[in-house]
Structure formats: structure tokens, C-alpha cells
Amino acid sequence: MKPTIPVCDSGENPDAMHDLLSEAGCLVVTGMAEQTTIDLVKAELADYMQEAESEEDDPENFYPGKTHRVVALMHRSPTMRELMTHPVVEQLGDRHLLPNCAKWQLNVSAALEIGPGARDQILHREEDLYQYWSPPRPNLILASMWAMSDFTADNGGTQLVPGSHRWEADRVATPDEVVRAEMPAGSVLFWLGGTLHGGGANVTEDDWRYGIILTYVLGWLRQEENQHLSIPLLDVISMSDVMRTRLGFDMDYDGDGLGFYDPTVLL
């Protein structure tokens, strides 16, 4: 039987969401952002998206062609900064990452439009960059994909392999183990860093799929996107404590002082 991605509403009990995500390795949460919020994010990123090149495909490339990709979103979109610390994200981040760290932080931020003709991205695990351990690893990463447009099986809805967060490294997914995330705009797809996934092929004539990926990592691991160089320090100083922590401008402090600094230097 084809596996499925569990779905719940943003008002669901956080422990129940945690259990669904732990079991399947992926979860769609509906009703996370209003249309007005989506419109704001799109307006903030519109110029960058327009400038992003949509290259011809190179099958060897990890990133498929015919896509737009813009990073450094915490600098470029004040509205995404708010969504970075959405209450459901905080609840799931605490439950999945806090057992393995004192603080958790943003790892990658990218806006991704998948255009007609784009191929399937190669299946991968977010945690594969931490190559010194072999899967299955302890939870290192929690990933999220904000649907800025409807995601369908045809327009590039993210491919996922439910249950693969428990697999050994050499197990390869068969086509019937791969499902595509279908969700209305305003939903968020969450998946664990060990779950096999990839962008989906877009076989439509003219329907661009627009998603924003935010991944989070343990506070004592290096962030994949260097957040310290992706946002001006002046912006960081005026942020709330929780945002600063999520951006990694904090100590992963649990009596050991990892990432210590003297705050007076910033003033």
C-alpha cells in the first residue's frame, strides 16, 4: 500500500503533532498562514525572485533547472522572520530538537519556485551534510516548507518517503514508497532531517509552485546557511530574544558555554 503523509490542523494538540511527525517522519499542518501574510511575503521577495535566474536543467546538478531560488530570507523578508518563530514551529522544534541541544537555530532559508518542465530533484536527507554519522541518526534537523501557493502532485509538490527517517543509509526508495505533498497555500509541510525528500517535477503548462523552506538545526552544529553573514548585525540587535536565538546569535548554553561571546562588543 502506498504510504501517506499525515495531515492535521494548526490547532491540533502539539504532543499529537509531535507523535504524528515522529511516526511518519513528515506531517502537513494546514491553516498556518493567512492569505494576507502570504501576499506580504511574496511582495517582499518579488524583486529577488524576478532577478533569480531559471537555468536550463543539468541532470548532474543537485538543484533542477527551471526553478527560482532566493536565500537569506531573514534579511529580505521581515514577515518570514515572524513565521520563523510561529508557535507551531516553536512547539515542534522544542519537542524534536531540545532533547539533543540546549538551543536550536535556523539552518537554511530559501524561497523556491518550481516552474513547468522542472524534473524531480534527487531524493536526499537534510542531515546528509553531517556526513560523519551514518543514518539513522539522532534528530539533528527539523525541516519545514511553507506553501505560498497550492502544492499539487503535478506542480512540484515535495516528494517524501514516509518512514525513511528510520532506514539504514543504503536502503533505496522504490517508486511506490515516494509520495508527493499536496496542500493548500498557507499550510506547512514538516519533515525530520532523516526523511528522504526532494522537490517534485512540475508537469503543468503554467503553474509555478511557490514554497519557502526553513530548516532548523541543533544549536551546537554549524548552520548550513551562514546566518551570521546573511543578515546585517544592526537588524539582529533590534530583534526579539527568541528571534536572535533562532538565528544562532546566542549560546547553546547548558553550563558549557558553547558559542560564548561578550554582548558589550555588539553595542
Ligand X SMILES: O=C(O)CCC(=O)C(=O)O
Closest distance of CB 141 from ligand X, Å? 12
Nearer to ligand X among residue 67 and residue 105 (C-beta)? 67
Q: Which of 28, 112, 192, 196 binds ligand X (CB under 6 A)?
A: 112
- Which stretch, 45-53, 195-203, 225-233, 239-247, contacts ligand X (CB under 6 A)? 195-203
Give yes or no for residue 95 binding ligand X (CB under 6 A).
no
Closest distance of CB 211 from ligand X, Å? 6
Q: Which of 158, 164, 223, 227 binds ligand X (CB under 6 A)?
A: 158
- The DSSP-derived string for the chain is ------EEETTS-HHHHHHHHHHHSEEEEE--S-HHHHHHHHHHHHHHHHHS--PPP-TTSSS-SSEEEEE-HHHH-HHHHHHHT-HHHHHHHHHHHGGG-S-EEEEEEEEEEE-TTPPPPPPB-GGGGSTTSPSSPPP-EEEEEEESS-B-TTBTPPEE-TTGGGS-TTPPPPGGG-EE--B-TT-EEEEETTS-EEPPPB-SSS--EEEEEEEEEETTS--SS-GGGTS-HHHHHTS-HHHHHHHT-S-B-SSS-BT---GGGG-
Q: Which of 197, 194, 165, 193 is nearest to 178 (CA)?
A: 197
Give yes or no for residue 199 binding ligand X (CB under 6 A).
yes
By CB under 6 A, what part of segment 204-233 binds ligand X? 211, 213
Closest distance of CB 26 from ligand X, Å? 12
Nearer to ligand X among residue 135 and residue 198 (C-beta)? 198
Give yes or no for residue 198 binding ligand X (CB under 6 A).
yes
Closest distance of CB 251 from ligand X, Å? 29
Report the 10 Å Cβ neighbour count for 211: 25
Give yes or no for residue 144 binding ligand X (CB under 6 A).
no
Nearer to ligand X among residue 95 and residue 180 (C-beta)? 180
Binding mask 35-74 for ligand X (x = CB under 6 A): ----------------------------------------
Give yes or no for residue 145 binding ligand X (CB under 6 A).
yes
Residues that bind ligand X (CB under 6 A): 112, 121, 145, 158, 197-199, 211, 213
